Homo-oligomer: A and B are copies of this chain.
Amino acid sequence: MQIGRDDLIAAWRSMVTIREFEERVASEFATGDMPGFVHLYAGEEAIAVGACLDLSDTDVIGSTHRGHGHYIAKGCDVEGMMLELFGRKGGLCGGKGGSMHIADLDKGMLGANGIVGAGAPLIVGAALTAKTLGTGGVAVGFFGDGATNQGAVFESMNMAVVLKLPVVFVFENNYIGKGTGVDYAVGSRDIAARAAGFGMPVEKVDGRDFFAVHDAMRTCIARARDGEGPSGIEALSPRYYGHFQGDPQAYRAKGEVEALRAEHDCLAIFRARVVEAGLIEAAALDEVQAAARQLVDDAVRTARAAPPPSAADLTTDVYVSY
C-alpha cells in the first residue's frame, strides 16, 4: 500500500470526525434532547473510512441503521447530520428522516436504512445505473454480521454476480447483531466463505486496521471498475456502544468493551502506524483531531439553536407531483 500524505490526513480526519461525532452524540442523546433511536459506529471507523477513501461522488454507498460513520466517510456534511439527528430545520433530510434515514444523494450516499439488509438490492440498483449509463461508478454496500442472514442480502449477491455489476459488499462483522452473537446466527460461522459461495471473491480482513481494509477494498473497487463484477470483504471490528443508545449491553462480558478500547482501538492502531513509519507527525494528527472536535462542537451548538421544521413540512415531499 502506498497512500500519499494528503490521503492519510484525509483518512485520519474522517476517522476522528466519526469518533468525535459518535462520542458527542452519546452524551447529547443522554441529555434527552435528541429524539428517536441512535445506533453508534464508534470502534468501526477504519472500515467505513478504508472502504470509502477511494470513492468519488459518482460512486454510491448504501448504509445501515448504523450509518453516521458511512455518511462522514463518504464526505457528507457533518452539521447537516447533527441538525437532522436533533430533528431540526436545515437538517440534511429536513428533520423528516433522522439518524436511521440519514442520506445525501448528491454525494452518492443512498441512505442509512432502518430495515436490516434492505440496502443490498438498492446498491445493486445503483450499480445497474452505473453500468447501464456507463458512469464508471461503483456501488458499495455495508452490512452487519446480523444482516448477512437476510434474504435480501443473499438474493442481491446472486443478482450482482448474474448481471456482473460493479458492486462491493462490505460485511461489517462486529460479532453482534443486536444481542445475538455471530457464531450463533450465522450457521456456517463464516460470513466470507458463505458469501464467496455465491460466486465472487470475498476477503476477510482486520477491520480495525485501516490499511488492511483499504488494501482489500482497492482490489474490489478496481475489479468493479474494470467490469469484472462484484466482490466483497468481511471486516472484523467491534462496536463500543450498545446496539442503540440506552442498551445496557447485558449480553457482553464485563470489561469487554473497555479492553477492546484499550488494546485494539482502530484510531490508536492507525496513529501508531503512521507516526512510527514517520509518515505523519503526532502533532499534525492532534491538530486534525482538535479541528474535528471543534467541528462537532459547532454542529451541536448550531443544531441546538436551530428551529424545528415548520408545520407545512409535514405534508410536503411525499410525491414529486400529486
Which residues of A does B touch, CB under 8 Å?
149-152, 154-155, 157-162, 184-189, 193-194, 196-200
B151 touches A155 (CB 8 A): yes
Set B152, B157, B161, B194: member contacting A198, Cβ < 8 A: B194
This chain: how many copies in the complex? 2
CB closest chain-B residue, reference A180: B162
Instruction: Tell me if A189 and B199 are in contact (CB < 8 A).
Output: yes
Given contacts A151-B151, A187-B200, A193-B197, 4 further A-B contacts (CB under 8 A): A150-B155, A151-B154, A157-B187, A162-B186
C-alpha gap A158/B180 in the complex (Å): 15
| A155 closest partner in B (C-beta) | B151
Complex CA gap A186/B198 in Å reads 8
Q: Are A188 and B198 in contact (CB under 8 A)?
A: yes
Q: How far is the CA of A158 from the CA of B117 in the complex (A)?
A: 15
Can you list 16 A-B pairs with a CB-CB distance of less than 8 A?
Answer: A151-B151, A151-B155, A154-B155, A158-B186, A158-B187, A159-B187, A160-B187, A161-B187, A162-B184, A162-B187, A187-B198, A187-B199, A188-B199, A189-B199, A194-B199, A197-B197
With both chains docked as a complex, state the minimum distance between the C-beta of A155 and any C-beta of chain B, in angstroms: 5
- Distance in angstroms between the alpha carbons of A189 and B149 in the assembled complex: 21
Chain B residues near A199: list those with CB within 8 A. 187-189, 194
A158 (CB) vs chain B CBs: closest residue: B187
Q: Chain B residues near A158: list those with CB within 8 A.
A: 149, 186-188
CB distance from A161 to the nearest CB of B (A): 3
Known: A149-B155, A151-B151, A155-B150. A188 touches B184 (CB 8 A): no
Who on chain B is nearest to A199 by CB?
B188
| A72 CB to nearest chain B CB (Å) | 31
Instruction: Report the separation of the CA atoms of residues A189 and B198 in the bound assembly, to the nearest whole angstrom.
Output: 9
Q: How far is the CA of A149 from the CA of B196 in the complex (A)?
A: 15
